[in-house]
Amino acid sequence: MILADVSIKRPVFITVIFVVLLVVGILSYNRLTVNDMPQADIPYVTVTVEQRGASPEQLETKVTKLVEEAAGQISGVKHISSTITEGVSNTVLEFSMDKSADVAVQEVRDKVGSIRGQLPQEVEEPVIAKFDMSAEAIFSLAVSGTGETKELSQLVDDVVKKGLYTVKGVGAVNIQGNTGREIHILLDKEKLASFGLTTSEVVNSLQSDNLEMQGGKVTDASTEISLSTTSNINKVEDFSNVLIAKRAGSEIRVRDVAEVRDGMKDRESLCFYQGKPAIGIDIIKQSGANTVKVSENVKEELTRIAGLLPEGVKVDIVRDNSQAVKDTVNNVNKTVLEGCILAVAIIFLFLNKWQSTLTSAISLPISIITTFIAMKLMNFSINTMSMMAISLSVGLLIDDAIVVIENIERHLGMGKSPFQAAQDATSEIGLAVLATSLSVVAVFLPVALVSGFIGKIFIEFGLTVVFSMLVSLFVSFTLVPMMSAKLLKAEDKREKGIIGKFLGWFDQRFDKLAGNYSQLLKVVLRHRVKTLVLVFAMFAGSIALVPGLGFTFLPATDLGELTIDVGLDSGLSLEAAGQKAKNLESIALKYPEVRSMYTTVGMDEVSIYLKLSDKKERKDSAKDIAEKMRNDYEKVPGIEFAIYTASMGSGTAKDVTFNIRGNDYEQMQTIALAAKQMLREDPSARDISISYKAGKPKLQLEVDRDQAADLGVNSAAVGETLNTLFDGVVVSKFNGAKDRYDVRVSLEEDQRVDLGSLSGIYVSGSNERMVPLDQVTRKAFATTSSTLQRYDRAGEIELSANVTGISADDFSALNLQKLNHELQMPKGISLVLADDPMGDGFIELVIALGMGILFIFLVMAAQFESYIDPVAIMFALPLAIIGAILGLFIAGSQLSVMSLIGVILLMGLVAKNAILLVDYARQKRSEGAEIYNALAEAGLVRLRPIVMTSLAMIFGMLPSAFAQATGSEMYAPMAHAVIGGLITSTILTLFVVPVIYTLLDDCKKMFRRQSSVISVKG
């Protein structure tokens, strides 16, 4: 083999190459970003349109449907979903994965721009943005102090927020529970009536004052002077002097009909930390930024900010997502190191020489470090998926080196010199090693080519394994032969002492085992049909266990965090919602595992974040604690709640979601409530809720057109007057010392407390006559929706639940059929399972598994120059499934994407072992050996490397299988599947592959005889 020959003859040259690779690899590792999951640029685009005070029904008709219709014309749109709440319409456009996200954003912007003129004038400019999966809070802070909320909010804006925005990698700083300065002009309706003024006159006068306008320029031959007009108000109290109108020669100013206050904006949310009022800050990193680095920079900035804060004000770190990322990466690194040590120990056990062990062991760090070069070139990051690939590769990376060096040892035993043994052994086994490595590459390359959302996540995993395998192959053909030629000696220098005696005893026992195996193989070959029947029975038995395993897309991980989302009755004030939140907090505080608590409160929702003690310090898992809390919260009336355990790679989505779709919201709501009641009867269902909820009570003032026309009242004036008085309208900006602040006109607070406040309000009629509002309107009571949802241009109500004691898939299948059967859906209404891109991704992985198996067959066919011999090896692949299912069953793990990855890996590993066996048997047959003797000798010679590589892989995966650290639940099922599959497949492959191989050989002989008979007769 050319590579081996060059390496052996030019050791300095090959050493220089690997020194360079190590240096560049270390540099690449230090420059890789660290995140929780791979960066996935998915083509989702959001369109957000706001109109203050507009009901969801109004927005749906006047805004959402227009946006959906326009955006739906763009090519590549798969689904359109919209969520409409009071004042906000949010539409999400899902494009096919082959669409560029940047192109999609531009096309949506163009389409929405084309309908801008059809939208109500009152809406704010639509905000169109690319959906970024990583745009979530990586850091949450709570600012608390003893001062007033106004001063604390100003301090957060001026010091904390501005300081955080200077941190490299920070994309956004979102603040909750704060308020801002606002200038209030509070009208007195009785004074307005006494002066005969309308609200529009007040608004127009204020909008015409406090201005700064450009006035052009004057020029002469040598100079140019700009002109501007200014009437800026520099003091808040000066707003009182703004002239509104003149009546009977008298000036009416703002102070005559209103009070001017330097006040605060209405609060939209409340925050509590450890039960005390606070201002919450969520820090969102820039897309692609290093989570850990950004977190470290934020902490440095917080140290600086702490020195600027007054006494009594402090900033607490509520949540630091980078810590979970660091813990997970460090734990994976630890398992990799432990796996390496165990794998090297297995090598030493079998080879019984420190020189051979060193030669094999050194390939591990070199292969891993060199893989980082490829990761950097591909712009990968250090994340859960890439590090899991490295962890998975520990046993793989040493396999090639083990096989090569074991063969070199065998040639040394023939009396050859180390130089000659290295050359001959590498050349002899080179094609087999190449085929075994390419079989693993063939399995994982399709994983990297999986399409859809799941492909965006798994591309780094698949390609990292592929890179590491190719590097390992290069190391086995270069560094291993070179070091073997230099370090190994022809004489037998084995370890002495107690260790040496143990290793000698182990060698003797293994040689005896190999002899027994060779004899047993001959017996098995005489009972081939019985052997296959037994194996088939084992395979069928293992498949029967699958339904009992359950299925989940990604295994749940215990990160020591809980989130309790609570929906309150509509119509509550923010203060009442805050009091409700305090009661809910008291329930969580009863649990000693709770270390910290952070609560955010909206008008009709509460979110409580709980940080638990480290899982090593508590008896119950986060899931068990959540179940106990669930029982307590079910006793609280007037709420709907859901409890989520923080888990890697998952958000706050419930386990199961059904969608009720149609265009009649009343019918859909009736169906949703009935379905919700049916799910309550299922003992496996938890946290059942529907997305549709009645909103606030609403009083509609219907304009009497005939009466309004007679009195000369404009219908628009009625709406504008009510909006100004009861909601407030921003008429100007006040230039403060540090910022510009809104100037809002509204009614006095004590004059807008109940429906009686509507009396005494006037609008302008004909001939400057003041017309009472109740003279041109009729009152009608109604209820608005709190939230409306749409999917693919139709209405939608979500029915969701968490599941316990049964897999989510089984629960969905059983209840979907039951709901559709018993509810008897009206025409135009359908109840379906929510679209699940993850489920589609699982199917894609199964397809990738099929492609991998096909590629393995093609690799072996190319190596053996035969389409028949690889069939014997292909029959070994199902043998891995037996052990994989048993491994999952014994460990109590569910079927998941991670366990499926383990099965995919097993396909390559089983093929590697079978290739070694069949390749040697073919060599012996080419030398004239009879098939049974060739297989017996192949088993005797190849047993040691097969067992060595399998045990190295098994022991390399043991730390992952039994790890208890943060995030270990994610990759443990993969280890369970691999270990179980390797144990059964290694044992069964040694017998089943020879059986199938002899049967195929018999078929070939029979075919040749029949062909000969036909040719003779011809």
* Mean pLDDT, rounded, for 29-49: 84
Task: Indicate the SS3 state at residue 410.
Answer: helix
- pTM for this entry: 0.75
Question: pLDDT band at residue 47, thresholds of 50, 70 and 90?
Answer: very high
* Mean pLDDT, rounded, for 779-808: 81
* Mean pLDDT, rounded, for 147-173: 85
Question: pLDDT band at residue 90, thresholds of 50, 70 and 90?
Answer: very high
pLDDT score of 491 more than 60: no
* Mean pLDDT, rounded, for 308-313: 86
* Mean pLDDT, rounded, for 911-920: 79
CB-based burial, 563-582: b 16+ in 10 Å, e otherwise: bbbbbbbbebebeebbebbe
Using DSSP bridges, classify how beta strands 729-735 and 127-130 pair: parallel, antiparallel or unpaired.
Answer: unpaired
Of 123, 113, 22, the C-alpha closest to 70 is 113
pLDDT score of 648 more than 70: no
pLDDT score of 53 more than 80: no
- Of the two residues 245 and 448, the one the predictor is more confident about is 245
Question: pLDDT band at residue 828, thresholds of 50, 70 and 90?
Answer: confident
Question: pLDDT band at residue 624, thresholds of 50, 70 and 90?
Answer: confident
Distance CA 414, CA 409 (A): 9
Among 224-228, 608-612, 854-858, 1004-1008, the range with the most confident prediction by mean pLDDT is: 608-612
Residue 372 has a pLDDT of 92
Residue 88, both tokens:
């906000």
Of 787, 790, 786, the C-alpha closest to 663 is 790
Residues in the chain: 1018
**How many CB atoms are closer than 10 A to CB 554?**
18
> Which pLDDT tens digit goes with each residue over 534-561?
988 988 888 888 877 777 777 777 778 8
- Asked if residues 245 and 254 have their Cβ atoms less than 8 Å apart, the reply is no
- Asked if residues 935 and 521 have their Cβ atoms less than 8 Å apart, the reply is yes
Residue 695 has a pLDDT of 62
| Least reliable range by pLDDT among 287-296, 650-659, 754-763, 915-924 | 650-659
Residue 16 has a pLDDT of 92
pLDDT score of 706 more than 70: yes
What's the first-to-final CA gap in the chain, in angstroms?
47
> Which pLDDT tens digit goes with each residue over 259-273?
999 888 888 889 999
Please, which residues bridge with residue 791 across strands? 81, 794
Question: pLDDT band at residue 779, thresholds of 50, 70 and 90?
Answer: confident
Domains of the chain, CATH where assigned: 44-130 (3.30.70.1430), 182-266+697-783 (3.30.2090.10), 496-548+866-1017 (1.20.1640.10), 561-695+787-837 (3.30.70.1320)
Residue 91 has a pLDDT of 93
- Of the two residues 786 and 620, the one the predictor is more confident about is 620
- Asked if residues 961 and 976 have their Cβ atoms less than 8 Å apart, the reply is yes
What share of the chain in percent tops pLDDT 90? 6
Task: Indicate the SS3 state at residue 835.
Answer: coil
Question: pLDDT band at residue 67, thresholds of 50, 70 and 90?
Answer: very high
Question: pLDDT band at residue 783, thresholds of 50, 70 and 90?
Answer: low
Residue 66 has a pLDDT of 92
Residue 639 has a pLDDT of 83
> Which pLDDT tens digit goes with each residue over 124-150?
889 998 877 666 678 889 998 877 777
* Mean pLDDT, rounded, for 723-742: 83
Among 89-93, 293-297, 878-882, the range with the most confident prediction by mean pLDDT is: 89-93
pLDDT score of 23 more than 90: yes
Element (H, E) at 431: helix 418-448
pLDDT mean across residues, the chain: 82
Distance CA 241, CA 795 (A): 52
Rg (alpha carbons) of the chain, rounded to whole number:
37
- Asked if residues 171 and 158 have their Cβ atoms less than 8 Å apart, the reply is no
User: Which ranges of 768-876 does DSSP label H, i.e. alpha helix?
Assistant: 808-823, 837-864, 869-874
